[in-house]
Homo-oligomer: A and B are copies of this chain.
């Protein structure tokens, strides 16, 4: 069959309102994976996807896990081994929506909004990742409605634990390697580079999450009665956090930089050519000045340098007014972004040893480990990368770029390690989408051109 996208692109344009309504419907399911109270909603989102994929004529199934379920679906053409076989991955779970009071509309009462910058799809998950996931599903829907069948064999694989460390992902992939294997994995969970420049990700930072609780007294104490004599765990925690970086913004953990590569001259030149506007990028968030490691380009700070960041901390009385307590405990959630060959498990042990060594008398510490995934470097010599680059460049005003990514999408590494296939990441989010923040949105233009992009990529990958 001929895999020409033109008729499909026209169908996508005609049916955009229906596609948008479907996405809004999916967004109304509050599938917050990190909160056990939303387990039923996660299952509902998985069922929504299964039903939608079955309507496309796919064999779609829910697969239970110890956590939230997986969705796996296959096109009916799996027997035709002359067709390339791709696996498309996305996640149907979303970040928690709090702080709720900063949302201009309820986070799960999603809607299409008119804004001065154009129409946006507003709601938690609009960009990360339900909207992006649906760009691919809608491209397939349009293709099927025009050509009856797809020009590729496609396995769909959706998980519901991406925002909470994907605890079930690796075991599931290992147990189901036979149904997940393909020639190439496609992942749509990243963004454009700049407003009109599509991007293919060539490296991803890894992620290590640690939660520490430092305890001293067996209860909150009166700060007049005990203050100056009893250990204050909030001070101990503050000192530990302060000591995590030196005066130049470099992480101080011993051995932390083992396996961190310097940029090659070629890569440095390519990144410089991208002409990244750090001031504009930071300006979107109300900031102005790059605050990372001294002597590094802003793109290095987010793409190729490792970090240690406090994601949350809490101690003592935080309500209205004042309470003169000496807190009994102090807690922090700290995450490390990893690059190159940094070993997350080794860094976890180093961090715990380093914290324990800094504990003064009368303090105990408890650690809870969250996700631990190494960085990924993509196989850009796979011909699919150049085909995809050209397909994207035809759809968008500017040429597609090869870029790094500061976020962590561990599944890319797992596809390589467990299933032996390369992963190709492209996506259509914008920097101002407020992912993981209040008022998340996905530009209708991104949704529309994202669907069209996938139609072009499907055609390109089918062209042999």
Looking at A173-181, A300-308, A380-388, the stretch in contact with chain B turns out to be A300-308
Contact at A322–B165, with CB atoms within 8 Å?
yes
Is A220 interfacial (CB-CB < 8 Å)? Answer: yes
> When chains A and B are docked, how far (Å) is the Cα of A164 from the Cα of B319?
12
A374 to chain B, nearest CB (A): 14
Within 8 A of B (CB), among A193-239: 205, 207, 209, 211, 216-232, 234-235, 237-239
Contact at A333–B312, with CB atoms within 8 Å?
no
Given contacts A235-B241, A237-B238, A437-B221, contact A227 B309 (CB under 8 A): yes
- Point out the residues of chain B lying under 8 angstroms from A224, CB to CB: 205, 207, 337, 405-408
Looking at A41-49, A324-332, A412-420, the stretch in contact with chain B turns out to be A324-332
Of all chain B residues, the one with the shortest Cβ separation from A300 is B228
Is A288 interfacial (CB-CB < 8 Å)? Answer: yes
Copies in the complex: 2
Contact at A285–B221, with CB atoms within 8 Å?
yes
Contact at B217–A285, with CB atoms within 8 Å?
yes
- Point out the residues of chain B lying under 8 angstroms from A211, CB to CB: 322
A246 to chain B, nearest CB (A): 12
A361 to chain B, nearest CB (A): 4
Contact at B234–A406, with CB atoms within 8 Å?
no
Contact at A311–B286, with CB atoms within 8 Å?
no
Is A313 interfacial (CB-CB < 8 Å)? Answer: yes
Chain A interface residues (CB < 8 Å from chain B): 34-36, 95-96, 98-99, 102, 163-165, 205, 207, 209, 211, 216-232, 234-235, 237-239, 241-245, 278, 281-282, 285-293, 298, 301-302, 305-307, 309-327, 330-333, 335, 337, 360-362, 370-371, 405-408, 431, 434-439
Q: A224-B408, A312-B317 are in contact. List 18 more A-B contacts (CB 8 A).
A: A34-B321, A35-B319, A35-B321, A96-B317, A164-B321, A225-B435, A226-B285, A227-B302, A227-B309, A227-B335, A228-B292, A228-B307, A232-B291, A234-B313, A311-B322, A311-B325, A312-B325, A316-B333
